[in-house]
Amino acid sequence: MRGVSKAYGNIKALDDVWVHIEDKEYVCIVGPSGCGKSTLIKCVAGIIQPTEGEILVDGHSVLNVPIEDRKIGYVFQDIALFPHLSVKQNLSYGLAVRNASANTVTTVTNEMLDLVKMRDRSKSYPRELSGGAQQKVAVGRAIESGSHLFLLDEPLGALDALVRAELRYELRRLASDLGLTVIHVTHDQEEALSIADRVVIMKGGRVVEVGKPAEIYHSPQSLFTENFVGETNLLEGTIMEIAVTSCKVKVGTHMMSVLGKGKKVGQKVVVAVRPEFITLGSAVPSEWECRIKEVSFLGGLTRYTLEDDGGLEILAHVPSGESSSLRIGERTNASFGDGEHMLLFDYPIEGLGKELALE
Q: Which stretch binds another protein (CB under 8 A): 11-19, 229-237, 240-248, 345-353?
A: 229-237
3-class secondary-structure state, position 212:
coil
Q: How far apart are CA 258 and CA 253, in angstroms?
A: 16
Q: How many residues bind another protein (CB under 8 A)?
A: 75
3-class secondary-structure state, position 62:
coil
Query: Which of 72, 108, 112, 208 forms a contact with another protein (CB under 8 A)?
Result: 72
Residue ranges in 8-47 that form contacts with another protein under rule CB under 8 A:
32-33, 45, 47
Minimum CB distance to another protein, residue 139 (Å):
12
Residue 61's H or E segment, with its range, is strand 60-61
Query: Which of 62, 180, 229, 249 forms a contact with another protein (CB under 8 A)?
Result: 229
8 Å CB contact between 75 and 28: no
Taking only Cα atoms into account, the Rg of the chain, rounded to an integer number of angstroms, comes to 25
Smaller CB distance to another protein: residue 77 or 267? Answer: 77
Query: Which of 303, 333, 335, 339 forms a contact with another protein (CB under 8 A)?
Result: 303
Q: Tell me the per-residue interface mask from 236 to 255 with another protein, x by CB under 8 A, - otherwise.
A: --------------------
Pairing of strands 254-259, 288-297: unpaired
DSSP class of residue 1?
Answer: -
Residue ranges in 83-142 that form contacts with another protein under rule CB under 8 A:
83-84, 89, 93-94, 96-99, 130-131, 141-142
Instruction: Work out whether 82 is an interface residue with another protein (CB under 8 A).
Output: yes
Minimum CB distance to another protein, residue 64 (Å):
12
99: amino acid identity, one letter: N
Q: Tell me the per-residue interface mask from 180 to 199 with another protein, x by CB under 8 A, - otherwise.
A: -------xxxxx-xxx----
Minimum CB distance to another protein, residue 316 (Å):
12
Beta bridge partners of 73: 150
Instruction: Work out whether 320 is an interface residue with another protein (CB under 8 A).
Output: yes
- Pick from 172, 233, 240: which is nearest to 28 by CA? 172
Instruction: Work out whether 148 is an interface residue with another protein (CB under 8 A).
Output: no
Q: How far apart are CA 222 and CA 345, in angstroms?
A: 8
Pairing of strands 26-30, 198-203: parallel
Q: Which stretch binds another protein (CB under 8 A): 109-117, 236-244, 300-308, 342-350?
A: 300-308
Q: How far apart are CA 92 and CA 109, in angstroms?
A: 6
Instruction: Work out whether 230 is an interface residue with another protein (CB under 8 A).
Output: yes
Measure CA 104 to chain center. Answer: 38
